[in-house]
Amino acid sequence: MAQVKVGIIMGSQSDWPTMKEAAEVLDELEVPYEARIVSAHRTPDRLWNYGKTAVERGLHVIIAGAGGAAHLPGMMASKTRVPVVGVPVQTKALSGVDSLYSILQMPRGFPVATMAIGGAGARNAGLMAAQMLAMNDPALAQRLDAWRAALSASIPEEPKDD
Ligand code: RP5
Protein backbone atom coordinates (compact mmCIF):
# COMPACT_ATOMS: atom_id res chain seq x y z
CA MET A 1 0.00 0.00 0.00
CA ALA A 2 1.31 3.44 -0.94
CA GLN A 3 2.02 5.89 1.86
CA VAL A 4 -0.89 8.28 2.42
CA LYS A 5 0.56 11.78 2.15
CA VAL A 6 -2.63 13.82 1.85
CA GLY A 7 -5.10 14.32 4.67
CA ILE A 8 -8.54 15.73 3.86
CA ILE A 9 -10.21 16.97 7.01
CA MET A 10 -13.50 18.77 7.48
CA GLY A 11 -15.49 20.22 10.32
CA SER A 12 -18.67 18.25 9.73
CA GLN A 13 -20.30 15.50 7.71
CA SER A 14 -22.22 18.34 6.05
CA ASP A 15 -18.93 19.55 4.51
CA TRP A 16 -18.34 16.26 2.69
CA PRO A 17 -20.33 17.06 -0.49
CA THR A 18 -17.95 20.00 -0.98
CA MET A 19 -14.76 18.28 0.19
CA LYS A 20 -15.51 15.23 -1.95
CA GLU A 21 -14.37 17.31 -4.91
CA ALA A 22 -10.84 17.29 -3.52
CA ALA A 23 -11.08 13.52 -3.03
CA GLU A 24 -12.39 13.01 -6.56
CA VAL A 25 -9.54 14.83 -8.25
CA LEU A 26 -7.01 12.97 -6.10
CA ASP A 27 -8.67 9.72 -7.23
CA GLU A 28 -8.33 10.84 -10.84
CA LEU A 29 -4.62 11.48 -10.28
CA GLU A 30 -4.13 8.23 -8.32
CA VAL A 31 -2.98 10.06 -5.20
CA PRO A 32 -3.81 8.18 -1.97
CA TYR A 33 -5.48 10.21 0.77
CA GLU A 34 -7.40 9.84 4.00
CA ALA A 35 -10.61 11.70 4.81
CA ARG A 36 -11.62 12.51 8.39
CA ILE A 37 -14.14 14.63 10.26
CA VAL A 38 -12.16 16.83 12.65
CA SER A 39 -14.04 19.73 14.19
CA ALA A 40 -12.20 22.60 15.84
CA HIS A 41 -15.15 23.20 18.13
CA ARG A 42 -16.88 19.85 18.55
CA THR A 43 -13.82 17.55 18.64
CA PRO A 44 -10.88 19.72 19.76
CA ASP A 45 -8.93 16.72 21.11
CA ARG A 46 -9.23 15.00 17.74
CA LEU A 47 -7.86 18.15 16.08
CA TRP A 48 -4.99 18.29 18.55
CA ASN A 49 -4.04 14.64 18.01
CA TYR A 50 -4.34 14.87 14.24
CA GLY A 51 -2.01 17.86 14.14
CA LYS A 52 0.40 16.39 16.68
CA THR A 53 0.87 13.14 14.73
CA ALA A 54 0.67 14.51 11.17
CA VAL A 55 4.44 14.64 10.55
CA GLU A 56 5.23 11.25 12.09
CA ARG A 57 2.38 9.65 10.15
CA GLY A 58 3.97 10.86 6.92
CA LEU A 59 1.44 13.46 5.82
CA HIS A 60 2.89 16.01 3.38
CA VAL A 61 -0.16 18.25 3.00
CA ILE A 62 -3.46 18.70 4.79
CA ILE A 63 -6.57 19.95 3.01
CA ALA A 64 -8.88 21.43 5.62
CA GLY A 65 -12.43 22.53 4.86
CA ALA A 66 -14.90 24.21 7.18
CA GLY A 67 -17.83 26.58 7.12
CA GLY A 68 -19.07 29.46 9.23
CA ALA A 69 -16.67 30.16 12.08
CA ALA A 70 -14.14 28.11 10.14
CA HIS A 71 -11.32 27.74 12.64
CA LEU A 72 -10.22 24.25 11.61
CA PRO A 73 -7.62 25.14 8.94
CA GLY A 74 -5.98 27.85 11.05
CA MET A 75 -5.89 25.76 14.21
CA MET A 76 -4.42 22.85 12.29
CA ALA A 77 -1.77 25.18 10.84
CA SER A 78 -0.89 26.27 14.36
CA LYS A 79 -0.40 22.66 15.48
CA THR A 80 1.69 21.21 12.62
CA ARG A 81 4.26 22.38 10.10
CA VAL A 82 2.62 20.18 7.47
CA PRO A 83 1.29 22.72 4.93
CA VAL A 84 -2.43 23.37 5.26
CA VAL A 85 -4.62 24.19 2.28
CA GLY A 86 -7.87 25.77 3.47
CA VAL A 87 -11.25 25.41 1.78
CA PRO A 88 -14.04 27.79 2.79
CA VAL A 89 -17.30 25.83 2.69
CA GLN A 90 -20.29 27.80 1.41
CA THR A 91 -22.77 28.59 4.16
CA LYS A 92 -26.47 29.37 3.78
CA ALA A 93 -26.38 32.41 6.04
CA LEU A 94 -23.51 34.37 4.50
CA SER A 95 -22.76 32.40 1.32
CA GLY A 96 -19.33 31.36 2.54
CA VAL A 97 -17.90 34.85 2.96
CA ASP A 98 -17.76 34.16 6.71
CA SER A 99 -15.86 30.91 6.05
CA LEU A 100 -13.49 32.66 3.65
CA TYR A 101 -12.63 35.46 6.03
CA SER A 102 -12.23 33.04 8.95
CA ILE A 103 -9.66 31.03 7.01
CA LEU A 104 -7.94 33.83 5.12
CA GLN A 105 -6.98 36.27 7.85
CA MET A 106 -4.24 34.31 9.59
CA PRO A 107 -1.73 36.13 11.78
CA ARG A 108 1.89 36.35 10.65
CA GLY A 109 3.75 33.12 11.30
CA PHE A 110 1.01 30.56 10.68
CA PRO A 111 -0.01 30.48 7.02
CA VAL A 112 -2.99 28.72 5.45
CA ALA A 113 -3.06 28.53 1.65
CA THR A 114 -6.66 29.59 1.15
CA MET A 115 -8.68 28.45 -1.85
CA ALA A 116 -11.91 29.80 -3.33
CA ILE A 117 -15.30 29.25 -1.67
CA GLY A 118 -17.03 25.92 -2.27
CA GLY A 119 -16.54 23.08 -4.72
CA ALA A 120 -14.13 24.88 -7.02
CA GLY A 121 -11.94 25.63 -4.02
CA ALA A 122 -12.05 22.01 -2.86
CA ARG A 123 -11.16 20.72 -6.33
CA ASN A 124 -8.30 23.21 -6.60
CA ALA A 125 -7.12 22.18 -3.13
CA GLY A 126 -6.83 18.61 -4.38
CA LEU A 127 -4.91 19.81 -7.40
CA MET A 128 -2.67 21.99 -5.26
CA ALA A 129 -1.85 19.03 -3.02
CA ALA A 130 -1.06 16.89 -6.06
CA GLN A 131 1.15 19.60 -7.54
CA MET A 132 3.08 19.86 -4.27
CA LEU A 133 3.67 16.10 -4.19
CA ALA A 134 4.57 16.08 -7.90
CA MET A 135 7.68 18.15 -7.17
CA ASN A 136 9.23 14.92 -5.82
CA ASP A 137 7.25 12.33 -7.77
CA PRO A 138 8.00 12.22 -11.53
CA ALA A 139 5.22 9.71 -12.28
CA LEU A 140 2.65 11.93 -10.61
CA ALA A 141 4.09 14.93 -12.45
CA GLN A 142 3.45 13.12 -15.74
CA ARG A 143 -0.12 12.29 -14.74
CA LEU A 144 -0.71 15.92 -13.78
CA ASP A 145 0.68 17.20 -17.08
CA ALA A 146 -1.63 14.82 -18.94
CA TRP A 147 -4.60 15.83 -16.74
CA ARG A 148 -3.98 19.51 -17.44
CA ALA A 149 -3.53 18.94 -21.17
CA ALA A 150 -6.80 16.98 -21.29
CA LEU A 151 -8.63 19.79 -19.51
CA SER A 152 -7.26 22.36 -21.96
CA ALA A 153 -8.18 20.13 -24.92
CA SER A 154 -11.75 19.82 -23.64
CA ILE A 155 -12.39 23.58 -23.89
CA PRO A 156 -14.08 24.44 -27.21
CA GLU A 157 -12.79 27.39 -29.20
CA GLU A 158 -16.25 28.68 -30.03
CA PRO A 159 -19.37 28.96 -27.89
CA LYS A 160 -22.56 27.25 -29.04
CA ASP A 161 -26.26 27.60 -28.29
CA ASP A 162 -27.76 25.12 -25.81
C1 RP5 B 1 -18.62 24.03 10.77
O2 RP5 B 1 -19.96 24.29 10.94
C3 RP5 B 1 -18.56 22.91 9.78
O4 RP5 B 1 -17.37 22.95 9.07
C5 RP5 B 1 -19.77 23.11 8.91
O6 RP5 B 1 -19.43 23.77 7.70
C7 RP5 B 1 -20.64 24.03 9.74
C8 RP5 B 1 -22.01 23.44 10.02
O9 RP5 B 1 -21.87 22.17 10.60
P10 RP5 B 1 -23.15 21.26 10.84
O11 RP5 B 1 -24.04 21.99 11.79
O12 RP5 B 1 -23.80 21.04 9.50
O13 RP5 B 1 -22.63 19.96 11.41
O14 RP5 B 1 -17.98 23.69 11.93
Work out the number of other CB atoms within 10 angstroms of the CB of residue 106.
Answer: 17
CA of 111 to the centre of ligand 1 (A): 22
Residue whose CA is at the smallest distance from ligand 1 atom 13: 12
pLDDT digits over 27-49, tens only?
A: 999 999 999 999 999 999 999 99
Give the C-alpha separation, 139 to 146, whole Å: 11
Fold of the domain built from segment(s) 6-153: Rossmann fold (3.40.50)
pLDDT band at 152; cut points 50, 70, 90: very high
> What ranges do the domains of the chain cover?
6-153
What pTM, to 2 d.p., does this model score? 0.97
User: CB neighbours of 38 closer than 8 A, spacing ≥ 6?
Assistant: 9, 10, 11, 46, 47, 50, 64, 72, 76
Residue whose CA is at the smallest distance from ligand 1 atom 6: 67
